[in-house]
Amino acid sequence: MNSSTTSQSADDILTQQLEQAARAFVVRRNAGKTVIAGYPWFLDWGRDSLICARGLIAAGMTSEVKQLLLTFARFEKDGTLPNTIHGNDVSNRDTSDAPLWFAVVCDELSQIDPAPEDFFDTVVDGKRTLLEILVSIAENYAKGTPNGIHMDPDSALIWSPSHFTWMDTNYPAGTPREGYPIEIQVLWIRLLRLLEKITPPAGQKKWQALAIHATASLDKLFWLEDEGWFADVLLGGSRVIAHDATVGDALRNNCLFATSLGLITGVRAKRCVNAAQKYLVVPGGLRTLAPLPVKTPLPVVRDGHLLNNPAEPYWPRYEGDEDTRRKPAYHNGTAWTWTFPSFCEALVRAWEFDANAIATAKSYLSSTELVLNHGCLGQVPEILDGDAPHTQRGCDAQAWGVTETLRVWKWLNELGKANPR
């Protein structure tokens, strides 16, 4: 057997493992489908389910994803979607990212739909179309949602309340990120560009102008030239415009979404990926915070007591008491499996789909086999310690860790066939 046949066989085996693992999270909710975020502790979270949907599309589960979209679409109200679903209780809407990930999934599913021209005319519960729901999200983000999300007219960027992104630990709020988180801006611009493409001509100029404005603001306000990466967040209260917000200089994994989601290219993309490779990558995961000092302090406070060193906030292990040890560590150094594939995707996009970059990204992502073969066999855990030996922590089996790995692994394999070295 030659080496190329052996490599292809190994690729297929990992793909099959990941596809089998992914199917374990798709469950029925009434007449529709949803995704269990993780076993043994989580139910169906809004953002988790919608991020997972991208990998489920890659697995060919398009009918399940469409049911998932319709399940969440019927809950859209004033630009918001549920953060969690508990039976029929969808009152928890403390998320600024779930509605924007919903738009990404709509975009990606429409591209493979047998009738893409009709996809956004799909009617939800006999009332509104998917297009009308996407417009509702954008219009309400622009004018302000009931839960506090709003657009800064000066920059066209989106302000997010504390505890509203995926880094949502609270009590203590280890990573409140109140202000303008970078991935929210990237997802917002993706939504604007989608609406520019799918709305009738009369409305396209409005979305195009907002997209151009927001993109220019992101490029100007988030890039840290001396550090070589994009700021994780512009910190500020609800009345602080983006230009007046405090720029956070911490290196976090969120900065990679600007490249992995196709917004930033060129030298800045490469420098950002290089910084992540040096400070964030661990086998099978990506640290949430680099082990570096910061100029903008990141205090973690509970009941008036400071729990960390704000100038050196990196927390190496997720262990100990929940409220004073594990929660502060959760997004301050702990490595996550679900963002690791975005590093691999960003690497390829930053180097413009070069064959060597594709092969390098595959080498990185194949380290996921280390976690598949330990702990909960055949599954990807939620998190790993930031420091060696990178002990598995959190949920034994986490949906978005599996599905994102599957999505990017299959994408890399397809690119490798089209761009052989």
pLDDT of residue 141: 98
Lowest model confidence (mean pLDDT) among 6-10, 63-67, 229-233: 6-10
Contact 121, 129 (CB under 8 A): yes
Q: What is the DSSP letter of 96?
A: S
Q: Which residue has the higher pLDDT, 72 or 249?
A: 249
The model carries a pTM of 0.95
Q: How far apart are the first and last CA of the chain?
A: 20
Q: C-alpha 124: how far from its chain's center?
A: 25
Identify residue 85 by its one-letter amino acid code: I
For residue range 366-385, list pLDDT tens digits in order.
999 999 999 899 999 999 99
Gap between the Cα atoms of 171 and 185, Å rounded? 26
Q: C-alpha 241: how far from its chain's center?
A: 24
Q: What percent of the chain has pLDDT over 70?
A: 98
pLDDT of residue 7: 52
Whether the link from the prior residue into 172 is cis, omega within 30° of 0, is yes
- DSSP annotation string for 138-165: HHHHHH--TTS-EEETTTTEEEB-TT-S
Sign of CA dihedral 119, 120, 125, 127: negative
Q: Residue 12 — very low, low, confident or very high, per pLDDT cuts 50/70/90? A: confident
pLDDT of residue 3: 44
Residues 6+ apart with CB under 8 A from 375: 381, 392, 396
pLDDT of residue 2: 45
Q: Residue 1 — very low, low, confident or very high, per pLDDT cuts 50/70/90? A: very low
Q: Residue 420 — very low, low, confident or very high, per pLDDT cuts 50/70/90? A: confident
pLDDT of 160 > 60? The answer is: yes
Strand partners of residue 129: 123
Q: Residue 8 — very low, low, confident or very high, per pLDDT cuts 50/70/90? A: low
For residue range 92-128, list pLDDT tens digits in order.
899 999 999 999 999 999 999 888 779 999 999 888 9
